[in-house]
Amino acid sequence: MSQILSGAPVPASRTSPLSPRSSRRGLASVQALPLDEILIGDCVAHMMSLPEQSVDVIFADPPYNLQLEGALLRPDQSRVDAVDDEWDQFASFEAYDAFTRAWLLAARRLLKPNGTIWVIGSYHNIFRVGTSLQDLGFWMLNDVVWVKSNPMPNFRGRRFANAHETLIWASKDRDAKGYTFNYHALKAFNDDLQMRSDWTLPICSGGERLKGEDGLKVHPTQKPEALLYRVLLASSNPGDVVLDPFFGTGTTGVVAKRLDRRFIGIERDETYAAAAHARIAAVEPAPRLSLGVVMGKRAAPRIPFGSLIEAGLIAPGSELMCSRGRHRALVRADGTLQSGEHIGSIHRVGALVQGFDACNGWTFWHLDRGRGPEPIDALRDIMRTPMQAAE
């Protein structure tokens, strides 16, 4: 269950929300992470109050600085519900750049060394944000184009219909190692095709779009849950902490709760925060057993061949064979194989019997346990399962 917290009064800021911690404790005294809470107030001040290097992923949907001039009308002269709120208005590009650098510096301080940040924007602001990211030392990993399958038309007919937004995905710095990218999970999600950087998804509409009693949108730029689902699936794992400094109506929190991630939302508009709180409270998390993330072999726990002997999955004296039965080898008590005059590791002997320089012994050698020959890699998976369940 999320909570809405309020801290000591802070100066108004253009960062979409900051939150409250407790009326009895100022922001400066914040020690622990306010997990699954919505902080009301200035986002930079709130971020600076949180512990350094405490966040796994940041998703930021900052003001676009659309620079709208007057009302936007349809051909029938009806008014378009566009982004004309005060929080999206800046006096100049210089003011917007200063705002961007301030919240990005606070974000960089919060990211763990292997953490990553996502920033979404339109052509009005994303290039300026990208420049600030690079100037501050972030390292670009990808730009992702969100292609809107049902974009709003260009009513004035003077430009192309704006049918996409851009997401920048970046690590904390160029030398960052071990950041989360669930490549294999995304590939399975995409019918065993490598996930590309162009995502075709509809804009938020229908029952997902929050509307007030007056029938108008609660928030003008509410993002679709499908977009955040893909972002968090790609770059986080169950239990990770996700920060959204421009929380709005809480799409990040909704998806984080559903996927067993912990979230921290910052929002300066109490109306948005209240809508987000109610929305998140209604979310049913996915069953915990369904939340595992498919990993590649390299990311799985390392299992030496000798461990299979220690565990009794392969006994010394067992005979291994290749898939076609052309080559056979005897398992020795010390974890080596012997095939004729060749003695060595499963990889070394596999290479020697074929006359190759290298061989993946886990897939080359097979064992018949009464059901026909199967790769010894299947035995390694048996040992990995309880290890991964304990993590």
Of 20-24, 193-197, 304-308, 364-368, the poorest mean pLDDT is in 20-24
Tell me the pLDDT tens digit for each residue of 167-193.
Answer: 999 999 999 989 999 999 998 888 889
pTM greater than 0.85 (yes/no): no
Clarify whether residues 253 and 354 are in a common domain.
no
User: pLDDT value at position 25?
Assistant: 36
User: pLDDT value at position 169?
Assistant: 98
> Which of the pair, 330 or 10, is modelled with greater confidence?
330
Clarify whether residues 96 and 165 are in a common domain.
yes
Q: Is residue 243 part of a domain?
A: yes
Distances (CA, A) of 89 to 46, 68, 73, 156: 21, 9, 20, 22
Q: Which of 241, 264, 290 is the last residue of a domain?
A: 290
User: pLDDT value at position 103?
Assistant: 97
Clarify whether residues 232 and 139 are in a common domain.
yes
Clarify whether residues 170 and 310 are in a common domain.
no
Clarify whether residues 114 and 175 are in a common domain.
yes
Q: Is residue 309 part of a domain?
A: yes
Of 82-96, 183-197, 237-251, 330-344, the poorest mean pLDDT is in 82-96
Q: Is residue 196 part of a domain?
A: yes
Average confidence (pLDDT) over 257-261: 94
User: pLDDT value at position 17?
Assistant: 34
Clarify whether residues 342 and 247 are in a common domain.
no
Total of domains in the chain = 2
Q: Is residue 29 part of a domain?
A: no
Average confidence (pLDDT) over 295-315: 82
User: pLDDT value at position 21?
Assistant: 36
Q: Is residue 353 part of a domain?
A: yes
Q: Is residue 298 part of a domain?
A: no
Work out the pLDDT band at 241, boundaries 50, 70, 90: very high
User: pLDDT value at position 296?
Assistant: 64
Of 211-215, 225-229, 339-343, the poorest mean pLDDT is in 211-215
Clarify whether residues 236 and 337 are in a common domain.
no
Clarify whether residues 275 and 146 are in a common domain.
yes
From the CB of residue 78, how many other CB atoms can be counted at a distance below 10 Å? 9
Q: Is the pLDDT of residue 31 over 70?
A: no
Q: Is residue 144 part of a domain?
A: yes
Q: Is the pLDDT of residue 263 over 80?
A: yes
Tell me the pLDDT tens digit for each residue of 360-375.
Answer: 999 999 999 888 899 9
Q: Which of 236, 257, 290 is the last residue of a domain?
A: 290
Q: Is the pLDDT of residue 162 over 60?
A: yes
User: pLDDT value at position 365?
Assistant: 97
**CA distance linking residue 277 with residue 1, whole number of Å:** 8
Clarify whether residues 209 and 326 are in a common domain.
no
**Domain span at residue 94?**
37-69+77-290
Average pLDDT, the chain: 84
Q: Is the pLDDT of residue 377 over 60?
A: yes
Q: Is residue 374 part of a domain?
A: yes
User: pLDDT value at position 55?
Assistant: 97
CATH of the domain at 89: 3.40.50.150
Q: Is the pLDDT of residue 305 over 80?
A: yes
Clarify whether residues 312 and 277 are in a common domain.
no
Average confidence (pLDDT) over 314-333: 95
Work out the pLDDT band at 20, boundaries 50, 70, 90: very low
Clarify whether residues 227 and 144 are in a common domain.
yes
From 236, 226, 247, 74, select the one nearest 169 (Cα to Cα). 236
Share of the chain above pLDDT 70, in %: 82
Clarify whether residues 311 and 286 are in a common domain.
no
Q: Which of 247, 265, 290 is the last residue of a domain?
A: 290
User: pLDDT value at position 120?
Assistant: 97
